[in-house]
Structure 1
Amino acid sequence: MLVAVPLLLIPVVLYNVVVLFSLGDGARTGAADLMLREPVFSIPMASGAGWDVGTGDLILFVSLICLFFELLKSTSSQKVAIINHALSMVLFVVCLVQFLLLRGFATSTFFLVTVMVMLDVLAGFIVTIVAARRDLDLGLGQQQ
């Protein structure tokens, strides 16, 4: 049953933890955005410049990896896939509500995570519909 849990829940929870720590003690609204942009480490590039990687960049990286595996999972036609699609839809609604209504979630990082969750929902439903149509076409073709 753990397979039904959307993997994109991981970056959403990570973002919530970051916002929880940045907004503690009544911090101002932009504190989460500043914390997300603050470099965690820097990688020297061949050009001589340094590539600063922040917390928000790491959350987006984890989100992209999770989205890849979610898209692979959406091609499955198991019964647990329907539960996964429903939970992904719930996760999208939660992300949308957080983005629109809660302080600290109106950042580009969280917007992109929300878009990835929406793409997971759309991909899951589209793959399910295409697979059902294909099964229906095969079933009708055998009766003739």
Structure 2
Amino acid sequence: MINAIPLTIIPLILFNIVGIADGDRVWWSEIVGLTMVSGAHWVMTLGDLMISFGIVILFLEILKSVRASTSTITNHIASTAVLIVYVIEFIVVGYCANSVFFILTLIALFDVVAGFSITIRTASRDVTFGHSVDGVP
């Protein structure tokens, strides 16, 4: 049953916790800054870290969708519901109207599309038409 819960809900919950606590400006705060050999200064913000975390979650979700199980359909339905929450929050909630949340919404969209595509592709491989088991039609 735990496999039915979409992992893309984790960045959504974290974003809302941070957003309620501190609003929009926290996503642009610097976490790490390094001076490169070229002399340029590279900065990683909390928003960059959140997007990176979302990409890791997307990878784990794609790995989950490759397995064929009874919870796969439930996971797809729940992932679609999470995507709808992302879209609604992006449109309605003030602290969600930024590029970090938009990219997290795209990650949730890719999760839904990839999950359904992989499941359909896997299911079509398991179905054979027009041949018997021993190869004689």
Q: TM-score, normalised by structure 1?
A: 0.85
1:82 aligns with 2:57: no
- Whether 2:83 is the aligned partner of 1:92: answer yes
Deviation of 1:101 (Å):
1.0
Shift of 1:14: 1.4
* Letter of the 2:13 counterpart: V
Give the equivalent residue in structure 2 for 1:15. Answer: 15
CA 1:78/1:139 → structure 2, altered by over 3 Å: closer, same or farther?
farther
1:139 Cα deviation (Å)?
A: 5.4
CA distance in 2 between counterparts of 1:141 and 1:46 reads 63
Of the structure 1 ranges 6-15 and 53-62, higher mean CA displacement relative to structure 2 is found in: 6-15
Shift of 1:15: 1.0
Shift of 1:49: 2.4
Q: Which amino acid aligns with 1:142?
A: S
Q: How does 1:34-113 map to 2 (within 5 A)?
A: 34-113=25-104
- What is the number of equivalent residue pairs in this alignment? 134
- Which portions of structure 1, spanning 4 or more consecutive aligned residues, are displaced by more than 3 angstroms? none
Shift of 1:126: 1.1
Are 2:115 and 1:115 aligned? no
Per-residue deviation, 1:70: 0.8
Look up the match of 1:125: 116
- The amino acid of 1:8's aligned partner reads T
> 1:28-83 deviations in whole A, cap 9, x for unaligned?
xxxx0x22112122123222222211111110010011111111111111111111
Q: What CA deviation, in whole Å up to 9, does each residue of 1:88-128 have, x standing for no partner? A: 11100000100011111111110000010011001111111
CA distance in 2, matches of 1:44, 1:78: 48
What do you get for the CA RMSD once the two structures are aligned? 1.5
Contiguous gaps of at least 5 residues in structure 2: none
TM-score, with structure 2 as normaliser: 0.89
Aligned-pair identity in percent equals 33
